[in-house]
Amino acid sequence: MNTVWALAGVVIKELYRRKDFYVLFVLTAVMTLLMGSITFFNDPRIASYLKDICLLLIWISALVIAITTTARQIPAERENRTIFPLLAKPVTRGQVVAGKFLGCWLASGIALGVFYLFFGVVSASREHDLAVIQYLQALWLHWVMLAIVVGLALLGSLVFAAPSSNATICFIVVLGILLLGRHLNQVALQQPEPLRTVVYSIYFLIPHLEWYDIRDLLLYDHPGLRWTDCLLATLYAGVYTAMLLLGAWLLFRRKPLHA
Amino acid sequence: MWQRLCLCQVKGFVLAGRWQYAAPQNNTESGSKNMEVILETRDLRVEYRAQNGQGKKVAVKGLNLKVHAGEVFGFLGPNGAGKTTTMNVLLGFVHATAGDAYLFGVSVREPIARQRIGYLPELTYYYKFLTAEELLRFYARLFGIPRAEADRRIDQLLRLVELEAARKRPIKTYSKGMQQRVGLAQALINDPDLLILDEPTSGLDPLGRMKVREIIQRLKNEGKTVFFSSHELGEVETVCDRVAIINQGELKVEDRVSALVEKHQANLEQIFLSLIGYQAEVTA
Ligand SMILES: Nc1ncnc2c1ncn2[C@@H]1O[C@H](COP(=O)(O)OP(=O)(O)OP(=O)(O)O)[C@@H](O)[C@H]1O
Ligand SMILES: [Mg+2]
């Protein structure tokens, strides 16, 4: 386990020593602040509209960070050939997969924490109260969802050679699930038979990332989720992530590594 | 020093015993002061799928090598001979198409025995965003070396490879030779019993090369085994006990340096050139 943590530590160091992370963060921060400073509309509808946009930005930024960070991990190790001294140590390929996953997930967690903290401070300062429970639930579920995304990007980085094509495909898949995932069963109902089964199977196979999107809770003063639901959602994500990581390990295990 | 040497043998024995396999000892070989076989390849064959189309490229053809404990073994051959490929098999990066390879008597298919190996790859760009110190600390953690001990070794190694002044600078600011020296330091972090070095002196200035030779000599005095590839035949001649020369994946010769020089009445460079088919005035 120490090995996995050591590997994760390198991923996190890389994230905060690269500049793109700060660019994205500053961008989101500036937008959030700008919107927070708009005072001339004292209309609550506009306030919640602005919060909506902020949260959307946070979602996009977090996805960008999670996917791009993960997608380049193993390809960069191979390109810079650091994978060779690494695997010459008493490190198994399974530990490399686990370490990269943990590092990327924690790194996106850190980024997410910063984003939410910022959002929380700004919106609390505007509204003088914050639905803490809902806020924490949204943060937690968001992070749990990113575990699936990181697992997907890690698996993708072993399937597709170029990190950029992997990142693009991951984006399309994740956005597709987020936007269409919940409607697929209705779509299936409208299809003729062979297609209907196909669409239904897709509906049951895909990880339903859209379930983790509980931004509405923060926008419209809904009550928080039941804790059992949070737990179930966490378990569901855990199972999907484990399957993706298993797939990544199986692919990586037999891969010959030459220049 | 003797204590250390014995310890190293005991460790080797325990390891071999645990895996219910001991490499067959070749007692007919002459000259080696210690007959324990540390590194061995048996009829090793490696094929690469050719980049264009179906064909395949045979990089190593039926290679048989034996390296004994305490030896400095030079692994020579022209560019593309299959040296790096052989090392990649030894470290488990590439799987042998046929034949097998053993480290400390354990098949390289088993991930064990890495604990006792130090490896310096050719042309590696280490994590650019880490400093030399952080890089070595990371590798030390992978070996489970306790923090205090790791700090001690890191200081010692950075002094050895003369990177003390740059230890807190990110590796991306290093020159090529400095990167190579970081590589050497990381290969030594676990105080390994066997070193596998792929062109350890490439990119180093004459002083750096001399330092590497000194380091290899010192490791030998400590009873370590060193297996390294090189194109610097002069330096090979001075530090190696035995050499193997391969060409196009085939073993051309494997012998003690002194025996070779005596037999061919020529220096290593001339022997090398004649063995790889270059017509020079060598009395073979
Ligand atoms: N990934 C690969 N795919 C196809 N062929 C390869 C691959 N890697 C190496 N080869 C071929 O295998 C042969 C041996 O290469 P190898 O890298 O082992 O040579 P080398 O002895 O280390 O040479 P050098 O002294 O230049 O480092 C070469 O003909 C090379 O073209
Ligand atoms: Mg080579």
- Greater confidence (A259 vs B8) lies with A259
Check residue A41 and give its pLDDT.
54
> Could you count the other beta carbons within 10 Å of the beta carbon of residue A155?
25
Q: Report the side by side order of strands in the sheet with B242-247.
A: B117-120, B194-198, B225-229, B72-76, B242-247, B250-256
Q: Which residues of A touch B143 (CB under 8 A)?
A: 89-90
Question: Locate tokens 């994205």: which residue?
Answer: A24
Question: CA of B271 to nearest chain A CA: how many angstroms apart?
Answer: 30
User: Which DSSP helix (H) or strand (E) runs through B225?
Assistant: strand B225-229
Q: Is residue A121 one of the residues assigned to a domain? A: yes
Q: Is residue A182 one of the residues assigned to a domain? A: yes
Pocket test for ligand 1, best of B63, B84, B248 (most atoms within 8 A of CB): B84
Check residue B113 and give its pLDDT.
66
- Greater confidence (A46 vs B274) lies with B274
Check residue B20 and give its pLDDT.
35
For range A230-245, the mean pLDDT: 92
Q: Is residue A147 one of the residues assigned to a domain? A: yes
**Residues 6 or more apart from B57 whose CB is under 8 A from it?**
B47, B48, B49, B50
Q: Is residue A259 one of the residues assigned to a domain? A: no
> Could you count the other beta carbons within 10 Å of the beta carbon of residue B237?
18
Q: Give the domain range for residue A152.
A: 2-254
- Greater confidence (A68 vs A190) lies with A68
pLDDT at A167 over 80: yes
Check residue B2 and give its pLDDT.
41
Q: Could you tell me if the CB of B79 is within 6 A of ligand 1?
A: yes
Q: Is residue A35 one of the residues assigned to a domain? A: yes
Residues in chain A: 259
For range A79-83, the mean pLDDT: 89
Do residues A72 and A161 touch, judged by C-beta distance below 8 A? no
Q: Could you tell me if the CB of A258 is within 6 A of ligand 1?
A: yes
Q: What is the DSSP letter of A182?
A: G
Q: Can you read off the two tokens belonging to residue A167? A: 């990142």
Check residue B153 and give its pLDDT.
95
Q: Is residue A49 one of the residues assigned to a domain? A: yes
Question: Which residue type does B153 have?
Answer: R
**Residues 6 or more apart from A10 whose CB is under 8 A from it?**
A103, B127, B130, B138
Half-sphere exposure of A162 (CA within 13 A, CB side): 4
CA of B58 to the centre of ligand 1 (A): 10
Best of A11, A16, A84, A258 to disrupt the B interface by mutation (most B CBs within 10 Å)? A84
Check residue B279 and give its pLDDT.
65
Rounded-to-integer distance, Cα B198 and Cα B40, Å: 17
Residue B276, Cβ density class (10 Å: 0-12 exposed, 13-18 middle, ≥19 buried): middle
Residue A63, Cβ density class (10 Å: 0-12 exposed, 13-18 middle, ≥19 buried): buried
Q: Quote the number of domains for chain A.
A: 1
> Could you count the other beta carbons within 10 Å of the beta carbon of residue B189?
23
A142-161: per-residue pLDDT in tens? 999 999 999 999 999 999 88
Rounded-to-integer distance, Cα A69 and Cα A61, Å: 12
A residues 21-50 closer than 8 Å to B (CB): none
Rounded-to-integer distance, Cα B128 and Cα B9, Å: 38
User: Which DSSP helix (H) or strand (E) runs through B1?
Assistant: none
For range A233-239, the mean pLDDT: 91
pLDDT tens string for chain B (284 positions)?
344 433 344 343 333 333 333 344 444 444 445 578 889 999 999 988 876 666 788 888 989 999 999 999 999 999 989 999 999 999 988 888 899 999 998 888 877 767 889 999 987 788 989 999 999 999 999 999 999 999 999 999 999 888 999 999 999 999 888 898 899 999 999 999 999 999 998 888 888 888 889 889 988 999 999 999 999 888 888 899 999 999 988 888 888 888 888 888 888 888 888 887 776 554 54
Question: Locate tokens 């001649």: which residue?
Answer: B237
Collapsing DSSP to helix, strand or coil, B254 comes out as strand
In chain B, which residue's Cα lies nearest the Cα of A92?
B111
A112-145: per-residue pLDDT in tens? 998 888 888 877 777 666 678 888 888 999 999 9
CA of B84 to the centre of ligand 2 (A): 4
Q: Could you tell me if the CB of B61 is within 6 A of ligand 1?
A: no
Do residues B143 and B190 touch, judged by C-beta distance below 8 A? yes
ipTM: 0.85
- Greater confidence (A252 vs A49) lies with A252
Handedness of CA A63, A69, A72, A73 (dihedral sign): negative
Collapsing DSSP to helix, strand or coil, B89 comes out as helix
Check residue B154 and give its pLDDT.
95
